[in-house]
Amino acid sequence: MPGPVLWSDLGRRPYVDVWRLQRALVEPLKRGEGPDRLLLVEHEPVVTLGRSAEEEHVLVGRAGLTERGIELHRVERGGDVTYHGPGQLVGYPILDLRRHRKDVRWYSESLTEVMVRALARLGVVATARGGRDTGVWLADTRSREKIGMLGVRVERWVAYHGFALNISADLTPFDLIVPCGLPGVTTTSAEAALGRDVPMSEARQAVVAAFADVFGVVLQRADSSQLEAVA
């Protein structure tokens, strides 16, 4: 059984700061050193483009995002275009898959299951879909309502980037992009689906519990201040 996974709540941070932190934490894991981690964070408004993304999927262009105070970054994760902002819980597992299972498809499916189980703990019935419809969708509707996004990167069996769950996010910025490169997708949130407030603290605990269940690991909380010197 793999050792404990250290999880940290980073609060609300700019995307670039956490992107830099992830990359710094990946390097020792490539050498087989250091613990697996799970970073939970809310980002300042940002649009990210994955490896398969086309800039045309940013409907207002770079200038339009800048006018709205939204950053744009092209990153090394898989997937297309997505938006991150306050009220969205982003999870960045930084795992040495050699300690778990050397199977990228299994890993991606496991992260999707984490989102499904976390949402179930909050009272939202959601499901995964196959093909291009990666991520997590509301299960009680035939419409295209997406609530969880997935985009990972694996280098020498060390995984980073991860998943994002809309909890109480303002959904209007998703109208500025073609979410995940899928025309006709409607983006929703846990609060919209439930019709009630969902505290971010409740969502964090749901994700931590679901992650432990799916990966069969013990999660230990680590003070985020310990990470300040890493990046």
Mind telling me the catalytic residues?
180
For residue 196, give every residue at least 6 positions away whose Cβ sits within 8 Å of its Cβ, in sequence order, or none: none
- Count the neighbouring beta carbons within 10 Å of the beta carbon of residue 68: 13
The length of the chain in residues reads 231
CA 146 – CA 139 distance, rounded (Å):
10
Q: To 10 degrees, what angle do helices 200-215 and 104-122 make?
A: 140
Torsion of CA 185, 191, 192, 195, to 10 degrees: 160
For residue 52, give every residue at least 6 positions away whose Cβ sits within 8 Å of its Cβ, in sequence order, or none: 78, 79, 80, 181
